[in-house]
Structure 1
Amino acid sequence: MFHPLRVSAVEQLTDDAVAITFAIPAELRETFRHTPGQHVALRRIVGGAEIRRTYSICTQATEAPDEPVVRVGVRLVEGGEFSTYALKELSVGDTVEVMEPMGRFSFEPRAGRFAAIVGGSGITPVLSIAATLLAREPDARFCLIRGDRTAASTMFLDEVADLKDRWPDRFQLVTVLSREEQQSGLPSGRLDQERLTGLLPELLPVADVDGWFLCGPFGLVQGAERALHGLGVARSRIHQEIFHVDDGNPTTAAPAGPGPASAAVPAHSTLTATLDGRSGTWPVRDGDSLLETVLRSRSDAPYACKGGVCGTCRAFLVSGEVRMDRNYALEPEETEAGYVLACQSHPLTPEVELDFDR
């Protein structure tokens, strides 16, 4: 559900990025009380067309009775309708429709050693995770390894520096710039699989890290995951969120759900879906995803990016078989349990049933 929220602050982070803070009315405080790592979807209507974009919350998570603080970082994307509006038009006092916090790249703070590898705007949810962890758990340590193009393009410099000042013994910061040499620290270059494989054991005891958080462009996250696997890190300790996917890097479009993997695409299919306790059945038009099928009759169907990245449209496949074109949001254990992304799913059987409420 979307709620109209007033913009209370717009802060310039870099030449191409801003931080937007929303005022939360008293009656919505519990609705917008987020867990570290979650995101919100923002909605805008332009020329009768709806635009939705997801942005991670960068602020420390609060607990009652403290007020929740919802602040997101927005980086300009070439041709991006919402990011252009946010950087060039949005002002304090404006109203934006904001969906309540969601997302599974979230973390309940606990004692232990944790680390993150981020690139660019991937710092946004990790900043919330690190700040909340260090504030709540005196026995926790956090290592942040971040890659950016240049110092001038680095988001949330002051916020990260504040973490270092407040917890110098428990917060370790490693910065790598790909297009600019630093006066001190590591040489410039990308944080790819080969470099991380050699670098990580020099920075911290890899085997002792209780949780790894990978966030940023697809290439960085994929390289970091492979490096960690090569260093013997169990998949259960790796959590990831993709911020940008190059269309040249598709995932394998494998069938998901019961039935033979070689099932032929049916000439006609129907979808039954349960959402907020109500069910309906509709024909699936040729080429349409299951999400598009639901949206024709249920405008309240959950979605944000429609690109297989955010996971907002996750649903349980009750029956039938589907093909997912791409999946950057669901963990292997989720797909094995029967969950699919409705925005990327197409029917492979005459009848398919989804449950958005599970």
Structure 2
Amino acid sequence: MRFHPLRVRAVEPVAEDAVAVTFEVPPGLYEVFRHTPGQHVTLRRTADGAGGTGGAEVRRTYSVCAPAVPPPAAPVLRIGVRLVAGGAFSAYAVKELAAGDTVEVSPPTGRFTLRPRPGRFAAVTGGSGITPVLSMAATLLAERPDARFHLVRCDRTAASAMFLDEAAELKDRHPDRFQLVHLLSREERRTGPPAGRPDAGRLAALLPALLPVADVSGWFLCGPLGLVRAAERALAALGVPATAVHQEIFHVDEPTDGTDARQAAPAHDAPGGTELTAVLGGRRGSWTAGAGETLLETVLRHRPDAPYACRGGVCGTCRARLVSGEVRMDRHFALEPEEVSAGYVLACQSHPVTGAVEVDFDS
């Protein structure tokens, strides 16, 4: 996984606990950092250790919130960062990062995307889940006059809502083609929907009142696990086919059990000594997996360039195709059901079950 040192152009507050960070992209990297709306980048830094000693490497993924622009225009690389309690990177970005600083950034990646095309599209977002969807909506409406976008965004309070001004400007720019509904769970307002948690029942009643559900070509759900699952259940109850629903989990905000659609069936791990073969960057290697190790941990001991970021089964950066053998995934929120059926796994969550396993990171 390759990183490029990019200079920070600006750090701007976009909520009471969040900032937008804009990077300068040099002309030689224009094509490297062009993004498809919805993609994310991985940021890397080495946290300070105790007593001034070198610390551990920290990686985090953040979605690009800026609209995509075609060549030859310079790509706009802007991300949203929300402060997370105990977050090693978010605390640094929100409290310390400043214009002129340099951060290591990977090229955009990710499959939670919307390429501009005709039609009607809709999204349900929660908290910082607005970030990739803002890029989707802005790009779609700018490039396709024959497209519409409906956004239901959910936040705790108005002060905690990221990119309020940007969403309002988008509504002003495209009043007939962009619908914006804002739900607050912990704050009552004089106008708009009443406060309350946007559970499946509430969403199933609200969505048909806002838009023609059957006419929507694609649904994009982004935010905490609880909200995304609630929106999935609501859409299923409304008859929306699963193939029209795309989701990206930003964090897991509640316990999960074996009935979760993204949770793998339990299995017994293989004892230590499994032979793991991996194809990465066109190179093939085989190593012995240690007892209890994930596939990613084994590969990283020999290939530090292996792709990863969150290590929590959320970002999908370590996605690989299982060529042979069997693995157990603790969780796989970042994979669509069809990807799991096609044999893709998340290396950070996969433990070998058989004595030999082969994966391909290049597939």
TM superposition score normalised by structure 2:
0.95
Q: Residue in 2 aligned with 1:296?
A: 301
Q: Residue in 2 aligned with 1:305?
A: 310
Q: Residue in 2 aligned with 1:112?
A: 119
Alignment of 1:24-39 (within 5 A): 24-39=25-40
Write the distance in 1 (CA, Å) between the matches of 2:268 and 2:58.
35
Q: CA deviation at 1:264?
A: 6.2
Q: Residue in 2 aligned with 1:73?
A: 80
CA deviation digits over 1:163-201, x for unaligned, max 9? 101100000010111111112111111111010011111
Write the distance in 1 (CA, Å) between the matches of 2:211 and 2:267.
46
In the alignment, which of 218, 228, 247 is matched to residue 225 of structure 2? 218
Write the distance in 2 (CA, Å) between the matches of 1:175 and 1:280.
50
Write the distance in 2 (CA, Å) between the matches of 1:253 and 1:59.
32
Q: Residue in 1 aligned with 2:155?
A: 148
Q: CA deviation at 1:80?
A: 0.5
Query: What amino acid does structure 1 have at the position aligned with 2:3?
Result: F
Write the distance in 2 (CA, Å) between the matches of 1:83 and 1:51.
11
CA deviation digits over 1:39-87, x for unaligned, max 9? 0000010233100000000000011011100100000000101111011
Q: Are the aligned partners of 2:271 and 2:291 in contact in 1 as well (CA < 8 Å)?
A: no
Write the distance in 1 (CA, Å) between the matches of 2:264 and 2:217.
31
Query: What amino acid does structure 2 have at the position aligned with 1:56?
Result: S
CA deviation digits over 1:149-170, x for unaligned, max 9? 1111111011001110110000
Q: Residue in 1 aligned with 2:52?
A: none
Alignment of 1:109-258 (within 5 A): 109-246=116-253, 248-249=255-256, 251=260, 253-254=263-264
In the alignment, which of 334, 339, 347 is matched to residue 334 of structure 1? 339
Cα-Cα RMSD: 1.3
Q: Are the aligned partners of 2:7 and 2:23 in contact in 1 as well (CA < 8 Å)?
A: yes
Write the distance in 2 (CA, Å) between the matches of 1:264 and 1:220.
32
State the identity as a percent.
67
Q: Are the aligned partners of 2:44 and 2:103 in contact in 1 as well (CA < 8 Å)?
A: yes
TM superposition score normalised by structure 1:
0.96
Q: CA deviation at 1:262?
A: 6.1
Matched, 1:281 2:271: no
Q: Which runs of 5+ in 1 are unaligned?
A: 256-260
Structure 1 pair 267–79 and aligned structure 2 pair: CA distance change class (3 A): closer
Query: What amino acid does structure 1 have at the position aligned with 2:354?
Result: T
Runs of 4+ in 1 over 4 A off after TM superposition: 250-253, 261-264
Matched, 1:347 2:357: no
Write the distance in 2 (CA, Å) between the matches of 1:146 and 1:30.
31
Write the distance in 2 (CA, Å) between the matches of 1:264 and 1:173.
47
Write the distance in 1 (CA, Å) between the matches of 2:356 and 2:32.
36
Write the distance in 2 (CA, Å) between the matches of 1:247 and 1:204.
30
Q: Which runs of 5+ in 2 are unaligned?
A: 50-54
Q: CA deviation at 1:268?
A: 2.6
